[in-house]
Structure 1
Amino acid sequence: MLEHFFAKTIRWYLIITGFLTFTVLSVAFWPIQTLSGQYGYSPEMLQGFEYWKVIYQHWGIMVAGVGLQLLISIKHKELRLMAMAFSGLEKACFVYFFVTHVWGEQQEWFWGWKMIFFHDSLVTLYSMVFLMYWLTRDKTKVAAHLA
């Protein structure tokens, strides 16, 4: 059952997730514009941003790299397991950090990141099911994500 599911969905998963993840590259080159436009940061939330700018830019490059890895693995099937594992871990960490920090006193940042949280939650779920499939699959057959 899971073998059929992944055989049918893996390509579209890699295309959609890879593309959406790669778009975070905009934070690396236009951090203030992206944070205020896409993520809804107010001028008050951007106070002192010059101290954090490089961290946001680094985050944008790193996450875009995960998206690029997913996109490359569409053609290079031998990279899919690594891409799935790395993106699943990266997205699960974001979901964990988001959930553990959302209950703080200042929650206005939450609304700007809700779509990333939703996307990363779905990726985490898909990755967990993929891991379950990978560990329990019939090893005598070609793995579904390589078909």
Structure 2
Amino acid sequence: MQRFFELTFKPFFVITGLGTALASLYAFWPRWAAETVGKIPFVTEYTIITQHWGIMVGLMGVFMIVAALKVEWRKPILIYSLLEKGFMVYLVLANGGQSYAQGFKVGAAMDATVVVYTIIYFAVFGLSKSQQ
């Protein structure tokens, strides 16, 4: 199992980090991202929180890429990513029947994959051991 992570960790977190970083579209083009990507109506009064969410999640993606490349940064980034992405998956599942959740299902599927991968990664390497 360790060999699996040695082979897949960098490409997995670079690719999923890039996907996560795309949320920064909400920070710079909130109307377009909400309506086109999220498939939700843009509410002008929520522009600031939409942009804030976009930059937070976008930076999470950047840091996921950093975790792929800098072993010493890996553990705190993975822990935060696990919590952030796990909560997003929960939110989409809890609101799955609502129309406003539909545009987030693809992202939640990717987030669920990252959560499962990270849990197995920590099960193999532990939280206290040095990773790779």
Deviation of 1:135 (Å)? 2.4
Q: Tell me, which stretches of 5 or more residues in structure 1 are unaligned?
A: none
CA distance in 1 between partners of 2:51 and 2:127 (Å): 39
Q: 3-state DSSP class of the match of 1:109?
A: helix
Provide the residue aligned with 1:19 in structure 2. Answer: 18
CA distance in 2 between partners of 1:51 and 1:67 (Å): 26
Matches of residues 35-54 of structure 1 in structure 2 within 5 Å? 35-41=34-40, 45-46=41-42, 49-54=43-48
CA distance in 1 between partners of 2:126 and 2:34 (Å): 39
CA distance in 2 between partners of 1:111 and 1:95 (Å): 12
Matches of residues 68-107 of structure 1 in structure 2 within 5 Å? 68-103=62-97, 107=98
TM-score by length of 1: 0.81
Q: 3-state DSSP class of the match of 2:38?
A: coil
User: How much identity, in percent, do the aligned residues show?
Assistant: 27
CA distance in 2 between partners of 1:40 and 1:116 (Å): 12
Aligned-pair RMSD on alpha carbons? 1.9
Conservation of the 8 A alpha-carbon contact between 2:26 and 2:51 = yes
CA distance in 2 between partners of 1:17 and 1:88 (Å): 13
CA distance in 2 between partners of 1:83 and 1:34 (Å): 26
Out of 126, 129, 133, the residue aligned to residue 120 of structure 2 is 129
Structure showing greater radius of gyration is 1
Structure number with the bigger relative contact order (C-alpha 8 A, sep ≥ 6) is 1
Provide the residue aligned with 1:3 in structure 2. Answer: 2
Moved over 6 A (4+): none
Matches of residues 45-64 of structure 1 in structure 2 within 5 Å? 45-46=41-42, 49-64=43-58
Q: 3-state DSSP class of the match of 2:126?
A: helix
